[in-house]
Amino acid sequence: MADLETPALPVARTIAELRETVSGWRRQGFSVGFVPTMGALHDGHLSLVRAAIERTDKVVASVFVNPTQFAAHEDLGTYPRQEARDAELLAGAGCELMYAPAVEEMYPAGATTRIDVGGPAAGLEGAFRPQMFGGVALVVAKLFNQVQPDVAVFGEKDWQQLMVVRRLVRDLDIPVEIVGMPTARDGHGLALSSRNAYLSAAELETARRLNGVLAEAGARAAAGEAVQAVEADAADALLGAGFDVVDYVAIRRAEDLAPFERIIDGPARILAAARVGRTRLIDNLAV
Amino acid sequence: MADLETPALPVARTIAELRETVSGWRRQGFSVGFVPTMGALHDGHLSLVRAAIERTDKVVASVFVNPTQFAAHEDLGTYPRQEARDAELLAGAGCELMYAPAVEEMYPAGATTRIDVGGPAAGLEGAFRPQMFGGVALVVAKLFNQVQPDVAVFGEKDWQQLMVVRRLVRDLDIPVEIVGMPTARDGHGLALSSRNAYLSAAELETARRLNGVLAEAGARAAAGEAVQAVEADAADALLGAGFDVVDYVAIRRAEDLAPFERIIDGPARILAAARVGRTRLIDNLAV
């Protein structure tokens, strides 16, 4: 039930409706912030909305489960969808427009263009989910051209995605400022994720160990230990904590995700993807 | 020497300079037209500038010989460059800004993103110059994001390129109207091209036969003759007229360049690429 204090959030279903609202804001001289999401919103998303509100006059959030970034065997069909609740949460956070296009509006018949960002999109998620960053780059480029925001806010939880988006924006000269926000976590350090909804109570206990294992490994690498040994130990620790499969634990240069043997120059990041039961989780920390 | 009646054209060398001028125009409420070129301007380019002026308040033309659309063996190094004369011609046609960035401004070190338009980019020029349309799509996407024009004007002489740009704009939802203008020709029907400067007097005579051969073949196809036979006869006619190599003569659906056996539904186009001496020429006509 909608709170009486929170008026219903306007929803744009088409590019034309979206542009009508945004160009109205523009005519009044307002700056525009944008938060792209796949819905099933949690406090992490809402912190992005609040960050956009701090930086711009009017904020639009998209809710679109993007099929081009899922592989056939992945969870596109079961990905959580709760649009009415998402609209309430966005309105409560101060967002002024939800953009929720149908798949046919985003990808009309006959569309053929693909984007390959290269660079930071290679390896890690790009290796385990080869369709992922091409799909992300395409939908983000389209969303930016549809919304034309001054500022767009992404979470650091998807660190590699954030680096891919920054590379895309730089390489195509897209006139938008990209802001990355720290990962929101529960009281046990677990990164908030829409996919946490898939976890059983026992799996949740395991999932909550991920962050601590990465923090300890990051500290060892920062102290000068060889990266490869630290990565291997962290992967073992995750298996010991109850994860069923560790896709990767990797310590990389923060910006372009290039590998190195020891952390010697510039910011580094430790990133991991691991599966518990049928759920695949990712997390990362500054080293 | 500059005509006293034609004040020197302002030239932007960087994205920042370009955006400063264009955003000044925007603040004054002016609409913006854009004509991307590789310089070595002729009357064909100037007709595009005039078309942009008819449709918008302020027109910027870019002069940039785009290295990403040339293969290593092609004429990037010898492609004609005459920037001072180009600036005079643009000013005389009513263009108000020339954007002539250095290669390093357009492609800074570390750039990795690539665009594959697919669809109309496959086959014909895409087969004979595999690097071509990826390079075109990348530079056009960048230029659109740099200039942010309301209208961009392209020549129909590069018909396949025009279809690729239309597809790119549609697929990425780039907020620009694409206008295609008829091919400018000399008194003998030869499509104006910066590469015509490469032709000897004898080669020029051969080059001038291209348009007539295509017109005759197009008429036969329009009358219902089988496409493949018409294409083969036209290729023979070009060799007979003195062309050394015929890369292709192809009758295709106009919009997506899909092949067909007979012209039965919708607009068609006849397109050809042929070499005389060391010069490769292209042309096309509505069927």
A209: CATH: 3.30.1300.10
A-B C-beta contacts closer than 8 Å: 77
A4, part of any domain: no
If asked whether residues B28 and B148 sit together in one domain, one would say yes
Local confidence band at A184 (pLDDT 50, 70, 90 cut-offs): very high
Q: CA distances (Å), B162 to each of A169, B118, B177, in order?
A: 24, 14, 12
- Please identify every residue of B annotated as catalytic: 45
Phi first, then psi, for residue B16 (nearest 5°) are -65, -45
If asked whether residues B165 and B53 sit together in one domain, one would say yes
A200 touches chain B (CB under 8 A): no
If asked whether residues B64 and B163 sit together in one domain, one would say yes
B236, part of any domain: yes
pLDDT value for A44: 97
Q: Once rounded to an integer, what is the mean pLDDT over residues A156-170? A: 98
Local confidence band at B225 (pLDDT 50, 70, 90 cut-offs): very high
pLDDT value for B1: 46
Residue B281's contacts (CB-CB under 8 Å, 6 or more residues apart) are B191, B193, B195, B196, B207, B210, B273, B274, B275
Phi first, then psi, for residue A70 (nearest 5°) are -105, 140
Summarised one tens digit per residue, pLDDT across range B230-258 is 999 999 999 999 999 999 999 999 999 99
Q: Rounded to an integer, what distance in angstroms lies between the CA atom of residue B32 and that of residue A101?
A: 29
pLDDT at residue A216 greater than cutoff 90: yes
Q: CA distances (Å), B68 to each of A35, A229, A287, B106, B135, in order?
A: 33, 41, 37, 11, 5
| Residue B26 near residue B9, CB atoms below 8 Å | no
A177 touches chain B (CB under 8 A): no
User: According to the annotation, is B44 in a ligand binding site?
Assistant: yes
pLDDT value for B262: 75
If asked whether residues B214 and B159 sit together in one domain, one would say no
Q: The sheet that has B58-63: what strands, in order across it? A: B11-12, B97-99, B58-63, B32-37, B151-155, B177-181
B6, part of any domain: no
CA atoms within 13 A on the CB side of B245: 8
- Of B254, B241, B252, B233, the C-alpha closest to B281 is B241
Count of domains forming chain B? 2
Contacts of A170 in chain B (CB under 8 A): 108, 111
B82: CATH: 3.40.50.620
If asked whether residues A271 and A214 sit together in one domain, one would say yes
pLDDT value for B266: 77
B165 touches chain A (CB under 8 A): no
Chain-chain contact of B116 with A117 (C-beta, under 8 angstroms): no
If asked whether residues B164 and B230 sit together in one domain, one would say no
Q: Return left, alpha or beta for B5; rule: phi > 0 is left, psi -120 to 50 is alpha, else beta.
A: alpha
Written as six digits, the tokens of A180 are 């990355």
Contacts of B68 in chain A (CB under 8 A): none
Summarised one tens digit per residue, pLDDT across range B61-83 is 999 999 999 999 999 999 999 99
- Domain extent at residue B141: 11-181
Chain-chain contact of A173 with B110 (C-beta, under 8 angstroms): no
A189, part of any domain: no
Written as six digits, the tokens of B138 are 């990348």
If asked whether residues A81 and A111 sit together in one domain, one would say yes
B263, part of any domain: yes
pLDDT value for B7: 62
If asked whether residues B139 and B198 sit together in one domain, one would say no
Nearest chain A residue to B108 by CA distance is: A171
Share of chain B above pLDDT 90, in %: 94
Chain-chain contact of B115 with A114 (C-beta, under 8 angstroms): yes
Summarised one tens digit per residue, pLDDT across range A34-46 is 999 999 999 999 9
CB atoms within 10 A of CB A282: 22
Angstroms from A62 CA to nearest CA on chain B: 16
Summarised one tens digit per residue, pLDDT across range A51-109 is 999 999 999 999 999 999 999 999 999 999 999 999 999 999 999 999 999 999 999 99
Closest partner residue to B173 among A142, A171, A173, by Cβ?
A142
Torsion sign across C-alpha atoms B236, B242, B245, B247: negative
Lowest mean pLDDT among A258-272, B41-55, B158-172: A258-272
A147, part of any domain: yes
**First-to-last C-alpha distance (Å) of chain B:** 44
CB atoms within 10 A of CB B85: 12
If asked whether residues B156 and B240 sit together in one domain, one would say no
Q: Rounded to an integer, what distance in angstroms lies between the CA atom of residue A242 and that of residue B276?
A: 70
A3, part of any domain: no
Local confidence band at B263 (pLDDT 50, 70, 90 cut-offs): confident
If asked whether residues B99 and B205 sit together in one domain, one would say no
If asked whether residues B141 and B39 sit together in one domain, one would say yes
Contacts of A99 in chain B (CB under 8 A): none
**Single residue among B120, B149, B181 that ends a domain in this structure:** B181
Q: Rounded to an integer, what distance in angstroms lies between the CA atom of residue B182 and that of residue B167?
A: 19
pLDDT value for B270: 97
Q: Rounded to an integer, what distance in angstroms lies between the CA atom of residue A256 and that of residue A235?
A: 22
If asked whether residues B105 and B140 sit together in one domain, one would say yes
